[in-house]
Structure 1
């Protein structure tokens, strides 16, 4: 039982860490200091990340209360396990949605590119020495003749920014959905560990009753 509790506590601390990481990353992204990260992770994604982290932390707090209850009171531990099921569903849905975005980045970020302001587009063009999204034509989503691309004739000979953008956003998206799937693994393992703890607590109560009937002679 002691080894089981140790494993349970380690997994529970991992749950705490996952919640802190989710909220912390959402807070960093919300500052908008990195334009590419802001393009890859939308405000909607930030809110979902914060919500996911908050759910994980709420489950952690419930677990502390539940595990400190007497061994014959397991309702809170059962409720805790239900919150873990909800967390697994939410995290899986979020991770999968981001994974789908990563599979169709070229088309997805074409829409994102169009929504950027001229200054933001110019910033990316200057940073990567490229012009437009696909190329420096109207069809290639060349919309900002500023900075590196101020000369339209020069711009026409330059490559588009698509490869530079998608290569870097791909790294961001892969790290995000991989981390979220990692959260799912932690929650799933903690769910199983909690089931084991509940069963062990029930056995402990059962043997205590048997021992009491035997006169408390140390059967358990």
Structure 2
């Protein structure tokens, strides 16, 4: 049973460090993509990526890697509990950090229309035009608020007035996109919780092992 407990802990620990790897890969790839030239395919996605706390995700992944390194002595030293406890405390901190990131992104979805309005207003006309073409719309709230950008989708005021504003489809896209991001963050928190439980199980197992060892030493039977 003790071997199974340790194996469970190791497997959960590997999932834990893998989640850190996914976090840092995601953050670094996104950082490189958002600086690329906007196109019809990536314009909305890259603007939404900018709403994500990428630097916080990188910091969280670094903390996860550090915590994993602290758990290695707990694995290779079968009698130690100090490293195991320290790793458990660090896992709690990592889990709280990831939870905060997920909640921050979730809160952004609750005020997406306001946030997207601010994002829209600071974009150059070329980017606004790409968004109009992507969502088949004119202007943000409507064709006059703010004024639409003349392009193939909105060639004149009459055609633009017949189109919807971009706020609806853009907000829907943002909510669906950010839902996936914060759901992924909460999934990582689930891995953190699993590792915390595995740590508690292994701590209890080693405590019992230590107690039996002391009993055997007192009875003269030698170390457990």
TM superposition score normalised by structure 1: 0.89
- The yes-or-no answer on 1:96 pairing with 2:96 is no
Structure 2 length-normalised TM: 0.88
Moved over 3 A (4+): none
5+ residue gaps in structure 2?
Answer: 37-41
1:92-171 equivalence runs, <5 A:
92-137=99-144, 140-171=145-176
Query: Which one of the candidate residues 51, 59, 64 is aligned to 2:59?
Result: 51
Per the TM alignment, residue 191 of structure 1 is displaced from its structure 2 partner at its CA by: 0.9
Pairing of 1:1-220 with structure 2 (within 5 A): 1-30=2-31, 31-32=33-34, 34-42=42-50, 45-71=53-79, 73-137=80-144, 140-216=145-221
Q: 2:10 touches 2:75 (CA, 8 Å); kept in 1?
A: no
Two-structure CA RMSD over aligned residues (Å): 2.0
The runs of 5 or more residues in structure 1 that have no matched partner are: none
Return the offset for 1:157: 1.8
Which segment is superposed worse, 85-94 or 147-156?
147-156
Q: How many pairs are equivalent?
A: 216
Confirm or deny: 8 A CA contact 1:29 1:37 kept in the other structure. Answer: no
Closer/same/farther in 2, CA of residues 4 and 183 from structure 1, 3 Å limit = same
